[in-house]
């Protein structure tokens, strides 16, 4: 079974950027929905924030690897 980080490493840079945009939109929707009516699972907001951070970390690692070469 693959971890989230391993799955992110297999994606292309374009796919990562698309996934990042989708996650940011989903996070914004969760926050708006939570402000209107409390969510059943408010920890899903934390999960989305961490997923965005993982994607940003992978993108930055690839950028640094390109600079190093």
Burial class for 3, CB neighbours closer than 10 Å (0-12, 13-18, 19+)? exposed
* Residue 26 tokens, joined: 């989903």
- 38 close to 3: Cβ distance less than 8 angstroms: no
- Nearest Cα neighbor of 16 from 54, 46, 47 is 54
Residues of the domain holding 48: 12-68
pTM, to two decimals: 0.88
- pLDDT above 60 (res 1): no
Alpha-carbon separation of residue 37 from 23, 40, 41, 42, 60 (angstroms): 21, 9, 12, 11, 35
Q: What is the pLDDT of residues 19-44, one digit of tens each?
A: 999 999 999 999 999 999 999 999 99
In a domain, 43, yes or no: yes
pLDDT (0 to 100) of residue 2? 67
CATH code at position 31? 1.10.287
- Maximum mean pLDDT: which of 2-6, 8-12, 50-54: 50-54
**Domain membership flag for residue 4:** no
Calculate mean pLDDT across residues 6-25. Answer: 93
């Amino acid at each position: 079974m693959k971890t989230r980080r391993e799955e992110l490493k297999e994606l292309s840079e374009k796919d990562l950027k698309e996934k990042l945009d989708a996650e940011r939109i989903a996070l914004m929707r969760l926050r708006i929905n939570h402000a209107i009516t409390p969510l059943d699972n408010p920890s899903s907001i934390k999960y989305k924030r961490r997923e965005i951070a993982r994607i940003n970390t992978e993108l930055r690692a690839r950028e640094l690897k390109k600079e190093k070469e």
